[in-house]
Structure 1
């Protein structure tokens, strides 16, 4: 039995699945709570709700914001990382391609080469660093950036030095530009105290592969094939949003089979995810949910969108819902479970990877398709575990 899970094969009316606690490395919020702007007590409550659902380790993703607001958000949330409530912080920007901003605030996107950008980057890294130092001192675990931008290597080097993983995404890179960025990492990304040189090495992950980047074309391949080759070699990890809307389920299965140890399924959830229909925010961007309060058709909710636009603004389901989707789509358990637990845990410093255990029961109406709500959640750090 693979180490990622254990349990009995579910029958038509009963069964169980025991997995590590789920690890969501890209989550902006939940049900009215926007991590980037909400008070800390609301963030704590959202994390408690996710834990009740079996998502026991969460990296809070902060979208592109005005520089002062982004810095304030890091300072507000970093203490939650140092105390162990959050697994880390992920900055989705601000050094992104203006051609693929998606639901990011285009007016707050910056070019990395300016003095202002360098000062901001240094301030963010400093705000995420705990005074005690050491390999687990940096609250920020990753930053999404567009590797084709001028001076992108300054971002990469600064992040690697600080123990933060540069995460390619929201990019207009050609295949050649993407490969050049991977080659630049050679010599920057070496095992050591900042990146957790013991155990399995931390490696950058492409932010929500396929989304907010050029699509694959046989005469203009873009970044996707190069990212998949690197993932298959073990040089890179890739995120996938498994809500049935961001990426076709068949493509999700194909990528999992191609690079089974390198796929991090993420929720990309926001304040509008699992929320009643209405208006919400994703950092500085107005978004809206069209989700009704009934059971979503085919198990898939309508994904939140940028207000008044068709642009997807975040994931339609939380990570426990993504696990149910994977199993319902026929993804083998030995591929599905690591993708939502042990593989994304490798993004974290070694001391933050433990995620506890979850026992799932299978609902009668779902039969052998997917598990229902957790029956037992053993959080990380519980006595005897």
Structure 2
């Protein structure tokens, strides 16, 4: 089936709340000039509202990243910054560097949070942070983040059903808003009928309008049948995101600059059959498509664009 002309199928611009970069540009480490070029490229492909996702990085790199991205947020070129770590589960870190993963109850974790909050008091650019519910100090961390205008999201976790349900309840009680689930199913403990893990709690929350589920519908991260299930049962809970990185080059596109693609600390490669991975590793590192390509592929697969487009407009 030919891929449809998306300009006729859906005239809306797209919102990407989870994207690390595009076409050679890494939001965590690239220059301001290259980030501007990357955003212009995304705008040309109708992703006009972007939240820059920063993977788990050490505290020095975090400060440098926030200093570069802050003026872009102030200028309206970015909608904010999403910190995907460092308070995540080491066993479910995925492409995030284990050495930079922290516990919120540790002295290093406390210093990291202090650095985030110091930037936030001066320029409130961080809009969301992904956390693992099972970490010691989770409840206190959530209260602190919400008090400083940062929405806690849940992901990169080996949480039990009870831990995930508790985390959703705690965040929802403080924010009175649906809780974001970071790239659902990926970097999360799986389902078992005697130990359902975190996703059963997510499903229950979505059914009660208490969760927003990020789905990377690039054909590699989540099975199409499962994507269809969500659209059939809980379309209002879906937030389609690209999770794209500097190693993600949309069809017909070319990398910006000649640097090797990065994801924060990690250097990336792009095996043709797998998509972006950490160099010298088989760990899937990011999404393989931007939102325009995701939209077109879903429509080509028979998903109604009238359902797809709202899931990309937040």
TM-score by length of 2: 0.91
Q: Any conservation in 2 of the 1:113–1:154 contact (CA below 8 Å)?
A: no
Match in the other structure for 1:36: 28
- What is the 5 A alignment of 1:116-135? 116-130=108-122
Q: Deviations over 1:200-242 (max 9, x none)?
A: xx53310000000011121221111211221121111110001
Structure 2 equivalent of residue 86 of structure 1: 78
2:163 aligns with 177
- Work out whether 1:233 is the aligned partner of 2:219: no
**Aligned-pair CA distance for 1:160:** 0.9
Match of 2:278 in 1: 306
- In the other structure, the counterpart of 2:60 is 68
Give the 3 Å change call, closer, same or farther, for CA 330–14 of structure 1 in structure 2: closer
Q: Deviations over 1:79-102 (max 9, x none)?
A: 211110001100010001010010
- Encode CA deviations 1:80-129: one digit per residue, 9 max, x unaligned: 11110001100010001010010001100001012332232132133134
The counterpart of 2:245, out of the listed 270, 274, 278, is 270
Deviations 1:151-204 (A, max 9, x none): 0112211111111111111001011110111222354224xxxxxxxxxxx533
TM (norm. structure 1) is 0.75
Larger Rg: 1
For 1:110, the equivalent position in structure 2 comes to: 102
Structure 2 partner of 1:162: 148
Alignment partner of 2:307 out of 310, 335, 341:
335
Q: Secondary structure at the match of 1:20?
A: coil
Superposition pairs of residues 183-222 of structure 1, within 5 angstroms? 183-190=169-176, 202-222=177-197
277-286 or 246-255, larger mean C-alpha shift: 277-286
Aligned partners of 2:167 and 2:98: how far apart in 1? 23
Q: Distance in 1 between matches of 2:304 and 2:122?
A: 40
**Is structure 2 residue 232 aligned with structure 1 residue 251?**
no
TM-superposed deviation, 1:321: 0.8
CA change 1:13–1:285 in 2 (3 A) is closer
Which stretches in structure 1 are left out of the alignment for 5+ residues?
Answer: 1-11, 132-137, 191-201, 292-300, 344-385
Contact 1:78 1:128 in 2 (8 A): no
**Which residue, 35, 53, 62 being the options, matches 2:45?**
53
* Number of residue pairs matched by the alignment: 305
Q: Tell me how large the CA RMSD over aligned residues is.
A: 2.1
